[in-house]
Amino acid sequence: MSETRNIAVTVNGKRYEATVPVRLTLADFLRHQLGLTGTHLGCEHGVCGACTILLDGLSVRSCLMLAVQAGGHDLLTVEGIAPSADQLHPLQEAFRDNHGLQCGFCTPGILTTLIELLRDNPDPTEQEIRIGISGNLCRCTGYQNIVIAALDAAKRMKMSPLPARGERSSERSERG
């Protein structure tokens, strides 16, 4: 009996049209209706940060939005970070090389958060990275290698700037 709406969204550069129950969260829409299960759900109430995606280039918790609210917007999930199917983004390479993940559950949210952070601040201090990822919980790493990986990624990205697929580099949406 759930009320539904039709929406059109762009995810990782690809346009989708779908009918969604109005109470469906954006995270569940991405995972269950679009099959993009890279966006992980930990707490589902906005604390753990695992479900972080970019909405018009800004990081948001997809468990705290309704799918219907994303209509007309441009989303980037972890699946859209790598430039192609056989090449990792420098941020992902830095995480692999520095052991920036263990179980990997929190990683999608941390990567999307850092995509925004490193775009807005290409030369962050360690402290800025620690504050930047303070909304992402990781229970494996103790964060140290995540911070090292992020600093390494900043260096790599300065050497070879590489926009992520579906990412709109500079523009920001102003919504009333």
Partner 1 sequence: MKPPPFSYHDPRTAADVVGLLGTLDNAKLLAGGQSLMPMLNMRYVLPDHVIDLNRVDGLSYIRERGGALEIGAMTRQRDIEFSDLVRERCPLMHEAIRQVGHRQTRNRGTLGGSLCHLDPSAELVTVAAAVDAKVTVTGKNGARSIDFAAFPAGYMMPAIELDELVTGAAFPCWPAGHGFAFVEFARRHGDFAIVSAAALIEEDTNGRVTRAAVTLGGMGPAPVRASEVERALIGETIEEKRLREICETLRKLDAVDDIHAPSSYRQQLATVLPRRALLQAHQRIAKGKRS
Phi and psi, residue 61, nearest 5°: -90, 115
**By rule CB under 8 A, what count of residues binds partner 1?**
36
Q: Tokens 């995606």 — which residue?
A: 53
In this chain, which of 7, 36, 65, 101 binds partner 1, going by CB under 8 A? 65
- Position 100 contacts partner 1 (CB under 8 A): no
- Position 2 contacts partner 1 (CB under 8 A): yes
Site for partner 1 in 4-23 (CB under 8 A): 5, 21-23
In whole angstroms, the minimum distance from the beta carbon of 135 to partner 1 comes to: 3
Q: Does residue 62 sit in helix, strand or coil?
A: helix
Q: Does residue 67 sit in helix, strand or coil?
A: helix
- Position 68 contacts partner 1 (CB under 8 A): yes
Helix axes 144-159, 90-97, angle to 10 degrees: 140
| H runs (alpha helix) in the chain | 26-28, 90-97, 107-120, 126-132, 144-159
- Position 159 contacts partner 1 (CB under 8 A): no
Phi and psi, residue 6, nearest 5°: -95, 135
Nearer to partner 1, 10 or 33 (CB): 33
In this chain, which of 12, 107, 113, 145 binds partner 1, going by CB under 8 A? 113
Q: Which of 108, 132, 95 is nearest to 53 (CA)?
A: 108
Site for partner 1 in 38-57 (CB under 8 A): 44-46, 49, 52, 55
User: What letter does residue 98 receive in the DSSP assignment?
Assistant: T
Binding site for partner 1 (CB under 8 A): 1-3, 5, 21-25, 28, 44-46, 49, 52, 55, 58-61, 63-66, 68-69, 113, 116-117, 131-132, 134-135, 174-176
